[in-house]
Chains A and B, each alone.
Chain A
Amino acid sequence: MFGYIARRLLIMIPTMLVISALVFIIIQLPPGDYLTTLINELQAQGESGEERIAYYRELYGLDQPMIIQYFNWLWGMLHGDFGHSFEYDLPVSEVVGDRMSLTFVLNFFTILFIYIVAFPIGVYSAVRQYSVGDYSLTLIGYLGLATPNFLLALILLYIAKAYFGVDVGGLMDEQYIDAPWSMDKALSVLEHLWVPVIVIGTSGTASMIRRLRANLLDELHKQYVITARAKGLSPKKALVKYPLRMALNPFISDIGNLIPDVISGSAIVAVVLGLETTGPMLLNALLAQDIYLAGSFLMFVALLTVVGMLVSDLALALLDPRIRLGAEASK
């Protein structure tokens, strides 16, 4: 088991390297770079600003070949230097500030929400297949799947403002923005967190319910469930101990898949709700071709996904002896 974890961690290194190369290619793909945009802007204003541009070009190695730029960037990242944001004229790490951690917190709670809500509903729908409850929950699930996140966000914003007079936008009260972290600030974040969590989590929850229901329905009719019943187990115990345990596997392997879903889903919602997460800033950075800022965000998302996959694989191995011992037994 220890060897397995070590090997999985080692495999993450080449994975991240490949991802970084892909990310760099993608952010370089649009024609031109930040400086061409800047030149255009300056020329429109009637200035030439050639000195400034030449200075930038040299400073950030933009006149060097692509491959050298990539290695400079990579080397910097390994030292904790994520490059310089052109747009803000600040190091990327300062621009980003709390956004990374806020994004992490938001996504963590969203996934927690998805699991907590989807689990009991999925089990109920499977066990009481074709009952009124199953049909109603299925209908709500479809609505959740079909409603675009940002629309739901707008509706919630409107309802909160119009009927309760509360402004639920943002991730914290105004006075805490840019303030140092304190207990009050953390509480304020938690207070505001529920709206984006619900908004971002609905579609994930709905699809998770469908998956769990389908998995469990498959398992419920397996022979070993009948064996458990024939042993004299009560229906509830027979459900929890055997088929539910089996149906958990896809549930857990979904952790890795959920993360990219949730993050990309949250970008638009964050714009609508005015959240200080990475989403809106990533959007701007991509538009402005602020390559190092965009690149850092993409690397962050990739890292989260890779770690999520690792966590789900380890959890699966813990839970399922066939994966843990399977290799030796499959002679």
Chain B
Amino acid sequence: MDKLLQVKDLRIHFHLDEGVVEAVKNVSFDIPHGGTVALVGESGSGKSVISQAIMGILPKSAKIETGEILFCDEAALAQGGPIDISRLNPAGTTMQDIRGGRISIIFQEPMTSLSPLHTVGNQIMEALLLHRPVSVAEAAELTKDMLRAVGFPDPARALKTYPFELSGGLRQRAMIAMALVCRPSLLIADEPTTALDVTIQAQILKIIRDLQSELGMAVLMITHDLGVVANVAKDVVVMYHGEIMERGNLQEIYRNPQHPYLKALLAAVPRFDMEPGERLKPIRSIETKTGHLMAERENQNGSQKPEELEKPILKVDGLRKSFTIRKGGVFGSGKERNTVHAVNNVTFQVKRGQCLGLVGESGCGKTTLSKMLMRALSPDEGSITFNDGEKDIDILGLDEKSLVPFRQKMQFIFQDPFSSLNPRMTVGDILTEPLVIHNIGTPQSRKEMAEELMELVGLDRRHLKRYPHSFSGGQRQRIGIARALALRPELIICDEPVSALDVSIQAQILNLLKDLQAKLGLTYIFISHNLAVVDYIADDIAVMCRGRLVEMAPRESLFKNPIHPYTKGLLKAVPEPSLDHLLDFNHLMNEKASNPESWPTPFTDDGSQQLALSDMSGEHYVRTHVNSGLGVS
């Protein structure tokens, strides 16, 4: 048999109290020896259920109704032919032998998939001791080799560390080491990089690729990210609602998609090479409808003066915030202190009616910055000035009393549509609450406002009595947007508003935000780690790294001509859903690129030189040494 794994007519049903859910319907595909197959689909498409079926770790309520999963590695051949995994007892010894030894899996969440109470070495060696006839000493040696292969700088030390002592990227490497230490013939990677930063994602994908060719194993990559697929897969299987929509090799799928779902999916992903003004095509687009309360407006409300409206709506100057972390804590002396500069001398402006994209990886300080703009945190130094069209307002100087009316002008959209809505309030209550707090209107006019808000974000006004749980993730995010709009703010801070959503929903929300901005004359600060998304929605883009704003420019010039080494590295690490711009795995940004001390001159930031943003050309600012001679003055 030339195939390593054959899935034939697989049907999996979940038998729940509420009834039977058909999670996987007649799915067939196969994985060749040493090949890479990507299983692509949005949430609820059944792709993870298939991986669980192959591993024999389906939840209790799931049952394989029909179909076979034929696994044929060398050991199976030696015993006389393929093994049908769907017939095996999941708790039996044959399946235990396959699981972890011949097929292994990496999960999405590196934070929770390792036990917090056991050392990394213990957990990795366990797999070896289970499946290979080795002594503990030999196992430790093999584990060390594997840890080195996945890029641990000090494998001997790593053996003794606990997962909570490691960063997300290192944990995912440990997870890969655990999956590969027995040299399986098939690796299932279930969204292995979804929870990681782009630069770490690129490194992890490279590790999987390198080890795949070294160990000669096959990879089943399960993902929703078409950019990742384009960069790693040879064959692609596209799923939707438990069914295969289309399958074929990578070239066919990307160059000549046939199925309408796949075409729609490809059209919904933001790309860097989009034409100016080109819109994403979501699978279902939203019509926004304004009413008399939420009327369209063009930056005016009577008392605003034209000359003031020309000024930037927000000016941030020399903002600093550092946190002191007490080291030692319970067991140490409690005296040792460590200062982290979460936001380090950040200066920028936002023009009225525009969108500033704020890009950076986790821990770069973008959320701390947004909290300070909202006055949820107080900065150590610096100033924030807001212009409401009449006068400048010093946000940091506002006292408790004058802060309340100011809050109407600046609102927030949160990342997680599930936890940001109170599950015990109806949508109507959620939407009118801001009005009640600020004592705006009568109960009657508030209700009318809520109805208009619903239609503004493309929801049915009759659903005001419903609770958040009866809406999907995308719909909830729209409710969150409607809530932010209730007070008719001038500036909205969007903190990763689409990163928890599926690709097609993401396009929907991005278009909605764009339309609302045009209709209501809004200004956005859009925080995201996804460069393609920021590229789509923002006019100006600011890049942050380790609390520093390293580069800021209009979007065209930032992407065409990145100057700062960190921006360059970041751009190189983004996987694009297109075969014409593949990642260059040999020139990835390494750890150094995000370390300010090892940036080359004139960008080095080791405390010995003064740094400031200097204008390169046409509002393209880069953080360099003050006297570097770069830029125009």
Interface residues of A (CB under 8 A from B): 1, 3-4, 222-224, 226-235, 241-242, 245-246, 317, 319-331
Q: Are A329 and B162 in contact (CB under 8 A)?
A: yes
A259 CB → nearest B CB, Å: 23
Q: Are A229 and B99 in contact (CB under 8 A)?
A: yes
A-B contact count (CB 8 A): 105
Assembled-state Cα–Cα distance A245/B117 (Å): 8
In the complex, are the beta carbons of B329 and A322 less than 8 A apart?
no
Q: Which residues of A contact B127 (CB under 8 A)?
A: 231-232
B contact residues around A4 at 8 Å (CB):
330-331
Residues of B within 8 A of A330 (CB): 164, 329
Q: Are B126 and A227 in contact (CB under 8 A)?
A: no
Evaluate contact between B165 and A246: CB separation under 8 angstroms: no
With A229-B99, A230-B57, A327-B330 given, is the CB distance from A224 to B114 under 8 Å? Answer: yes
- Partner of A326 from the list B107, B131, B329 (CB cut-off 8 Å) is B329
Q: Among B55, B131, B178, B332, which residue has its beta carbon within 8 angstroms of that of A328?
A: B332
Shortest CB–CB separation between residue B119 and chain A, in angstroms? 8
Bound form: Cα–Cα A221–B590 in Å: 36
The CA of A8 and the CA of B450, in the complex, are separated in Å by 56
CB-CB under 8 A from B96, the residues of chain A are 232-234
Contact A231 B178 (CB under 8 A): yes
Q: Which residue of B lies closest to A225 (CB)?
A: B115
In the complex, what distance in Å separates the CA atom of A324 from the CA atom of B97? 35
The prevalent SS among residues of B at the interface is: loop
| Most chain A C-beta atoms within 10 Å of own C-beta, residue among B97, B99, B338 | B99
Q: Are A328 and B327 in contact (CB under 8 A)?
A: yes
Chain A residues with Cβ below 8 Å from B112 are 222-224
Kindly provide the distance from the CB of B602 to the nearest chain A CB, expressed in whole angstroms: 30
List of A residues within 8 angstroms of B105 by Cβ: 230
CB-based contact A232/B164 at 8 Å? no
- Minimal Cβ-Cβ distance residue in B for A129: B60
- Contact (A223, B109) CB under 8 Å given A232-B101, A322-B116, A327-B329: yes
Contact A322 B164 (CB under 8 A): yes
A228 & B115 in contact (Cβ 8 Å cutoff): yes
The answer to whether B113 touches A327, judged by C-beta atoms less than 8 angstroms apart, is no
Query: CA separation between A56 and B138, bound complex, in Å?
Result: 80
Would B115 and A224 count as touching, CB distance under 8 A?
yes
Q: How far is the CB of B431 from chain A (nearest CB, A)?
A: 35
Q: How far is the CB of A309 from chain B (nearest CB, A)?
A: 15
Q: Which residues of A contact B97 (CB under 8 A)?
A: 232
Is B402 interfacial (CB 8 A cutoff)?
no
| Cα A227 to Cα B172 with chains together (Å) | 13
Q: Which residues of B contact A326 (CB under 8 A)?
A: 164, 329-330
B95 CB → nearest A CB, Å:
8
Q: Is B425 an interface residue (CB 8 A)?
A: no
B104 within 8 A of A: yes
Is the CB–CB distance between B164 and A230 below 8 Å?
A: no
Do A327 and B328 touch (CB < 8 A)? yes
Q: Which residues in chain B, 10-27, are within 8 Å of chain A measured between CB atoms? A: none
Q: Are B57 and A232 in contact (CB under 8 A)?
A: no
* Interface contact A226-B327, CB-CB below 8 Å: no
Contacts of A317 in B (CB 8 A): 331
Asked if B130 is an interface residue, CB under 8 A from chain A, the answer is yes
Interface centre among A231, A242, A320, A328 (most CB of B within 10 A): A231
Q: Which residues of B contact A3 (CB under 8 A)?
A: 331-333
Q: A224-B115, A227-B114 are in contact. Are A233 and B130 (CB under 8 A)?
A: yes
| Docked complex Cα distance between A324 and B327 (Å) | 13
Q: A229 — nearest CB in chain B belongs to which residue?
A: B57
B1 at the interface (CB under 8 A from A): no
CB of B91 within 8 A of chain A? yes
Q: How far is the CB of A218 from chain B (nearest CB, A)?
A: 13
* B575 interface residue per 8 A CB criterion: no
Contacting residue for A232 out of B107, B116, B118, B130, CB 8 A: B130
Given contacts A228-B115, A229-B57, A321-B116, 13 further A-B contacts (CB under 8 A): A227-B113, A230-B55, A231-B99, A231-B178, A233-B126, A242-B118, A245-B117, A246-B117, A322-B162, A325-B165, A328-B329, A328-B331, A329-B164
Q: In angstroms, how far is the closest chain A Cβ from the Cβ of B178?
A: 7
What residue of chain B has the Cβ atom nearest to residue A234's Cβ? B96
Name the residue of chain A whose CB is nearest to the CB of B98.
A232
Asked if B100 is an interface residue, CB under 8 A from chain A, the answer is: yes
- For B98, list chain A residues within 8 Å (CB): 232
Q: In the complex, A245 Cα to B116 Cα: how many Å?
A: 10
* Chain A residues, CB < 8 A from B55: 230
Verify A226–B91 contact, CB threshold 8 A: no
**B136 an interface residue at 8 Å Cβ cutoff?**
no
Q: Is the CB of B332 within 8 A of A327?
A: yes
